[in-house]
Structures are given as structure tokens and as C-alpha cells.
Amino acid sequence: MWVLIVLLVIILIIAFKTIRIVKQSEVYIIERLGKFYKMADAGLTIIVPFFDHVRSVVSLKQQTMDIPPQGVITKDNVTITIDTVVFYKVTDPAKAVYEIQSLKKGIEYLAITTIRDIVGKMDLDSTFSSRDAINDKLRVLLDEATDQWGCKIDRVEIKDITPPADIRDAMEKQMNAERNKRALILQAEGERQSAITLAEGKKEAAILEAEADRESRIRRAAGEAEAIKKVAEAKAEEVHMVYDAIMRAKPDEKLVQLKSLETLKEVANGEANKVFIPFEATNTLSSLGAAAEMFKNDKKRPKRSQIVEENNDDHGNGVTIEE
């Protein structure tokens, strides 16, 4: 009975030493008699007890390492504190175990020295404005240095850059002055834009007012021209009507001459100094002059009764005058 129990315990110990289960994203580094034997991937692995030994369990996941904040002196002799984080992944587990004593310590020390070398060549303002450039340089240099350790550096990020207190106060004052400057510039730009807008508005208003005045004058002149045209057409129509009426009455030459004289009378009563008499009216005037002379001669000529009386007084005899 006791023998069976002892055999069972020995079997369980041998099974525990022989059968190993490797988890996903992990690799076992197995040594046989103190020498590298193989890498066991995920799954069931059988090793020989008392001969094989699991040297290390290496994770193949992407890992992060927080670099402690480091004091770095910039090119312009300002001491700043930089906090950095590194993202890396093991690509060759055997090298990661056998090529370096401690992979994490190696990456940490290498990152610290690389940061000091890069930032030491830059001034303070460049360190704040060139974080992406610093990150890229750190990643490239660390990746090249850790390649022999079976490690790949995926990313390097600077979490924080902390300057000294006095430098921080000076930077805050400078930032406030810059903000005030930008505010004043924006205010002046706004006032200038407002003045330009007002001037353009006044200009547009003046142009519209001038155009409205011009349009009003054009329409007024067009109305006056249309009124003059209507009056002229009315006068012409009146003349045509009078002419048609005269033509229907069939006037003779004497009536025309008399109407001409009446017209001359109205013209003579005007304010003009000169009167133009048509040639046709001169015949009428000459006829009227001859008639006037005849009337005057008739007035100067003695009457028949007077001649008879005078002859009777002188000679005592009557004289008969026949017509």
C-alpha cells in the first residue's frame, strides 16, 4: 500500500516537471544542461526532467516603459525636466535573454542618454515647439541601438517638459504680452475693417443717390420732351384744323389780303423792333394807299353848290356844270 502511494507521488512529480503549458503571446526559453536548447511556443510542451530547465518566460506583447523624469540642460543653459515613455516589442526572445543582462534597464539607460544628447543641442523654445522631431529622433536612435538585443522600438513619446519656476514665470509673462499684442492687433484690424466697410457703404449710398438723381432728371427731361411734343402736336393739329376750315370756306384773294393785314397789325403791336411784311401784302397796302389818296382829294375838292354860288356872286350869272 505504501509502495503504491510513493509511486503515485513520484509519477505526479515527473509529470509536473515534464508537461508545461505555454500561454498565448509568450515564449519559453528552455536550456538543457545549462545550454540553450529551444524556444517553446504557445501550447503543450514536454521537457525532460532534471535535464531541461526553463530559463525565462518572454512576452511577445507590446510593452511600455516609463522613463523617470530626467533633468536636461539645453543649448542656452536652461535646466528642464523631461518625462518620457517608450513603447517596445521583443522580436527575438533568445537575443533579449542572452544578449543583455536586463532589457528594460538597457532601454531605460539608452533612452536617458539619447534624450540628453538630443535636447542638449536645442534651445529652450525649440524643445517646446519640436516635440514631434524629438520623438522621431529618439525612436530612430533607440531602435538602431536595441536591434542587437532582439527588440524593436515602436514609439517614443515625451509626456511632459517642465522648465524651472523662474523660467516658467518669464514664459507666462511673455505669453500674456503676446496675447495682449494679438488682441490689440485683432482689435485694430477689426476697427480698420469696420471703417472700410462704413466707407464702402457711404460710397455705395452716394453712387446710388447720384444714379437715382440722374434717373430722375432723365425721366423729368423725358416727360418735358414728351409734353413739348404733345403741345407741338396739338398746335399742329390746330393749324391743320384751321387750314382745313379755311380751305372748306374757299376764301377769295381780298379776304386773304385782309387777314394778312390783321396779322400785321398784331405783329406791329408786339415788342419787336423790326416787322417783316410778306410780298403779297404790299399789293394790298398799295391799293389801300391809293384809296386813301382818293378820299383825301375828294375832301379837298369844292362842292358843286359852292362853285355855283361863287360864280353868281362874281358875275351875277349862274353857271351850270354838267357831270
Where exactly are the structural domains of the chain? 2-59, 63-163, 265-315
Contact predicate 167/127, CB 8 Å:
no
Sign, CA torsion 213/214/215/218 = positive
Q: For the chain, what is the radius of gyration of the CA atoms?
A: 68
Residue 264: predicted pLDDT: 56
| Residue ranges in the chain whose pLDDT is less than 50 | 272-276, 279, 281, 285, 288, 291-292, 295, 299-300, 302-323
Q: List CB contacts of 112: < 8 A, sequence separation 6 or more.
A: 67, 70
Q: How many CA atoms lie within 13 A of 64 on its CB side?
A: 5
Q: What is the pLDDT of residue 17?
A: 76
Helix ranges restricted to H, 22-153:
93-98, 103-119, 124-129, 131-146
The one-letter amino acid code at 15 reads A
Tell me what pLDDT residue 319 has: 37
DSSP symbol at 23? P
Cell reading at 253: 384773294
CA–CA dist 118, 129 (Å, integer): 14
- Would you state the CATH architecture of domain 63-163? 2-Layer Sandwich (3.30)
Q: Are 72 and 116 in contact (CB under 8 A)?
A: yes
Tell me the CB-side half-sphere exposure of residue 108, using CA atoms within 13 A.
13
Q: How many angstroms separate the CA atoms of 249 and 243, rounded?
A: 10
Sign of the dihedral through C-alpha 47, 52, 53, 57:
negative
Q: How many helices (H) and strands (E) does the chain have?
A: 9, 8
Q: What per-residue confidence (pLDDT) applies to 266? A: 57
pLDDT tens digits along 78-128: 888 899 999 999 999 999 999 888 889 999 999 999 998 888 888 888 888
For the record, the C-alpha cell of 236 comes out as: 399742329
HSE, side-chain direction, 13 A CA sphere, residue 126: 13
**Is the pTM above the cut of 0.75?**
no
Please state the length of the chain: 323
